Amino acid sequence: FTPVCTTELGFTAKLKPEFDKRGVKVLGLSVDKLEDHAGWAKDIEETQGTALNFPLLADTDGSVARKYDMIHPNADNSLTL
């Protein structure tokens, strides 16, 4: 896994009660396949001691990520984002 992704997702899961207090809904977006998310969730629990406690959407074609400028337009799909 890309450590940044699982680290950020795990940290956000730990902070979710703070988001809840403020009436904020947490939502994750991944350009990887839905099948990969189960492995990420397991890794987060094992390495960070917290469960993935918010929805994680699979944007496999990257259309949502591109609409919100989350991926550099010159990014190489063969490299880790």
Q: Catalytic residue positions?
A: 5
Backbone dihedral region for residue 39 (phi beyond 0: left; psi -120 to 50: alpha; all else: beta) = alpha
Angle of helix 3-21 relative to helix 34-48, nearest 10 degrees? 80
